[in-house]
Structure 1
Amino acid sequence: MAQLLDGKTLAQKIQDDLKTKIPDWVAKQGRPPGLAVLMVGDNPASAAYVRNKERACEKIGMASFGKHFPADTTQETLSEAIAQLNEDEQVDGILVQLPLPKHLDDVALLHQIHPDKDADGLHPLNLGRLLRGEQGIRSCTPAGVMEILKAYDLSVAGKKAVVVGRSILVGKPLALMLLAEHGTVTMAHSRTPDLGAVTREADILVAAVGKPNLITVDMVKPGAVVIDVGINRVVNEETGKGRLVGDVDFANVVNVAGAITPVPGGVGPMTVTMLLQNTFLSYCRKLGV
């Protein structure tokens, strides 16, 4: 059986650490760190994510400035809201909850967020800093993956790492982070011929596609570290009940891998935690620390 990489427990540990630090900073500075989350419409999944983020803020003593807009909100209204948050001294991090309704230009809105308040690490300037190896805010989910590897002393240096998925949210930034830690990185995707032949070479295999059970046991090198970023809801046709599964066939791969993240309870909790950590770091940098 593979070692389980418990992202839920690690996320709680990091949040507890922030919870301990924040009161001292509030006593010195007169205000807590502040995170603003903008949500448009009533997508149930997005609403659940936003609630989780707002609760997490409350638990650690971080101020939450949630702004919820109706589905027919205009680009101009959201643009104006972001401009106001950029100027708000109480706000250290800004997040636009994706996906947005189709009539909105999400890229333009993300670009408008001030890079120093870009809690999700998706502004071109922060992605450019990652590419150049410079200090800056890192994308939350990839940063969470790297924290898991670090917490379990799973060194990347000298290892073959394969990232399946090339999104700007996870695949591309994570490949750069693994490269920065001296891994030899291969990116695979939907047009990669013989995907299994590529993944079987991986000492560290990351699945970030959004396709249930894409990675089967025959695609995994024995003893490999398997990081499952996928979060997919599947419904039992007989009972009608849904459950979350990853991109990895966990039930079988767990018997071959050396270490593996479960779904749920693996990478997911780390994403929200890194969002909080990014906001706290922005708060500290604003104060010159």
Structure 2
Amino acid sequence: MTTTIDGARIAREIRAGVAERVARLTPDGRVPGLATILVGDDAASAVYVAVKRRAVREAGMRDVHRHLPEEATHGTVAAAIDELAADPDVSGILLQLPLPAHLDAAPLIDRIPVAKDVDGLTTASAGRLARNERGLRPCTPSGVIELLDAEGIELKGACATVVGWGELVGRPLAQLLLRRGATVTVAHEFTADLAAVTRPADVVVAATGVRGLIGPEHIKPGATVVDVGIHRTPDGLTGDVRAAELDGIAGRITPVPGGVGPMTIAMLLVNTLRAAEWAAGREAVPA
């Protein structure tokens, strides 16, 4: 039998733990604060930001939000980031992506101080991850690691294949898995024989944005399969994995929805709390 990994339950437990820690963080009433910046009126982005803001409030954190118009200039967005960076009540800053087409995301993201980079996307944060130095890690890759830990899946000595080499998930996840002692293979669009590199793996993570790419031909019996993809179809949400075809083959599998998605929000809260705790202890990551 294939076991479905209940990411929603694990995420609820993490969020409850964050709320407990927030309640006792400091006696003077200063609580962590997450600042979200939304540029424009993209409907999907607005929904994502609303979900994040609600989670922040439910955790007892301070919700700070900046909604800038679609036509906002680079200078306007940069000024908003700088204002929040200087605010001691803001523990973390999240610039919602994608930005309007006329804005270049990379230099704006890099304006976020590494100590407040709760998305773990700045160049400085990426460098700290690569050098195994303390820093805030990208939320979705961290959520995958938390899922595997919660399921008691031993990563040290395991063979793991990450399908997808994107900057948001694939590359940072490969580094997190390496840090845990896994032997890691990264497959991508130029991989000649995908099944040849996924089928030997004990853990397969699909983060490609290609609906239904991974099926029985890619997975050995008993392997753990983590599906990071999410796609809207007339029949509902689905992922990068043909999950129904892996029933009875995979040992464990994450569902879509209810798998990795809830963990991303949970780890955003963890990062915000961690940033606040480091700052309160005067041990923040250098800016």
With the shorter chain as reference, the TM-score category is: over 0.9
CA deviation digits over 1:195-221, x for unaligned, max 9?
Answer: 112111111000001111110111111
4+ runs of 1 displaced by more than 4 Å? none
Matched residue SS, 2:16: helix
Deviation at 1:30, TM superposition (A): 2.1
* Gap runs ≥5 in structure 1: 237-242
- Residues matched between the structures, number: 282
Map of 1:7 onto structure 2: 7
After superposition, the CA RMSD in angstroms is 1.1
Q: Structure 2 CA distance, aligned partners of 1:187 and 1:21?
A: 36
262, 272, 280: which one aligns with 1:279:
272
CA distance in 2, matches of 1:107, 1:34: 23
Normalising by structure 2, we get a TM-score of 0.96
Q: Structure 2: state its 5+ residue gaps.
A: none
Q: Report which stretch shifted further, 253-262 or 164-173.
A: 253-262
Which stretch of the first structure deviates more once superposed, 206-215 or 120-129?
A: 120-129
Q: Provide the rounded CA distance (Å) in 2 between the counterparts of 1:50 and 1:222.
A: 39
Report the CA distance between 1:254 and its aligned residue.
2.7
- Aligned AA (1:267): V
Question: Between the two proteins, what is the percent identity of the paired residues?
Answer: 48
For 2:173 and 2:238, the matched residues in 1 are separated by 21
State the alpha-carbon separation in 1 of the partners of residues 243 and 145 from structure 2. 20
The Cα shift of 1:255 comes to 2.2
Alignment-derived partner of residue 101 in structure 1:
100
2:177 counterpart of 1:178: yes
Q: 2: CA distance between counterparts of 1:258 and 1:72?
A: 49
Match of 1:88 in 2: 87
Which residue of structure 1 aligns with residue 129 of structure 2?
130
Aligned to 2:18: 18
Asked if structure 1 preserves the Cα contact closer than 8 Å seen for 2:114 and 2:135, the reply is no
1:15-94 matches, cutoff 5 A: 15-26=15-26, 28-94=27-93
Say whether residues 1:266 and 2:259 are aligned partners: yes
Cα drift, residue 136 of structure 1:
1.2
The DSSP-based 3-state class of the residue aligned with 1:79 is: helix
- What displacement does 1:124 show? 1.4
CA distance in structure 2 between the partners assigned to 1:22 and 1:186 by the alignment: 38
How far residue 16 of structure 1 moved from its aligned partner, in angstroms, is 0.7
SS at match of 2:110: helix
CA gap of 1:29–1:168, structure 2 versus 1, over 3 A, is: farther
Q: Secondary structure of 1:153's match?
A: coil
- 1:155 corresponds in structure 2 to 154
Please, which moves more after superposition, 268-277 or 193-202?
193-202
**Equivalents in 2 of 1:51, 1:137: separation in Å?**
22
Alpha-carbon separation, structure 1, partners of 2:63 and 2:246: 39
Distance 1:16 1:141 in 2: 18
Cα distance in 2 for partners of 1:3, 1:216 equals 16
